[in-house]
């Protein structure tokens, strides 16, 4: 568990409405607290407002406005926020291979199932 005995917030950064809706429904039913954004610029605005919140970020790599690589660059420039963030990259296999240089805590290859999602998130959210 995190220092205060609560699970980390799950921050979803995903441009596909259908996947955001599914993640919202499944993770809410599992008892997670969520923040949902649809692109990198939205998540950066959120992070700037709540920089010390411990979170697990489910980060899509390919999005309009600002992609996952842009978010990762921003996190590297803000080590205080990065220190509170567990990073899970989400994308198709070939994109994940292209992102092999990105430091991450886990990855989810799209498409993924609920069991795989929960197997990755549950331990990360408790750290």
Q: What is the pLDDT of residues 65-107, one digit of tens each?
A: 999 999 999 999 999 999 999 999 999 888 899 999 999 999 9
Q: How far apart (Å, rounded) are the C-alpha atoms in residues 73 and 82?
A: 10
Going by pLDDT thresholds of 50, 70 and 90, the confidence category of residue 5 is: low
All structural domains of the chain with their residue ranges: 9-112
* Whether 87 contacts 103, CB under 8 Å: yes
Q: Is 99 left (phi over 0), alpha (psi -120 to 50) or beta?
A: alpha
Q: How far apart (Å, rounded) are the C-alpha atoms in residues 3 and 85?
A: 14
Each residue of 15-74: pLDDT tens digit?
999 999 999 999 999 999 999 999 999 999 999 999 999 999 999 999 999 999 999 999
- pTM of the model as a whole: 0.93
CATH superfamily of the domain spanning 9-112: Response regulator (3.40.50.2300)
Task: Look up tokens 């008892």; give the residue.
Answer: 31
Q: How far apart (Å, rounded) are the C-alpha atoms in residues 28 and 106?
A: 21
């Amino acid at each position: 568990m995190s220092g205060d005995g609560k699970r980390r917030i799950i921050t979803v950064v995903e441009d596909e409405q259908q996947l955001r809706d599914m993640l919202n429904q499944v993770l809410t039913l599992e008892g997670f607290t969520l923040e949902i954004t649809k692109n990198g610029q939205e998540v950066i605005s959120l992070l700037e407002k709540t920089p010390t919140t411990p979170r697990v970020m489910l980060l899509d790599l390919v999005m309009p406005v600002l992609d996952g690589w842009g978010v990762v660059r921003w996190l590297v420039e803000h080590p205080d926020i990065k220190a509170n963030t567990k990073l899970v990259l989400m994308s198709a296999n070939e994109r994940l291979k292209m992102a092999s240089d990105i430091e991450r805590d886990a990855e989810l290859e799209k498409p993924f199932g609920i069991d795989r999602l929960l197997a990755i998130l549950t331990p990360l959210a408790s750290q």
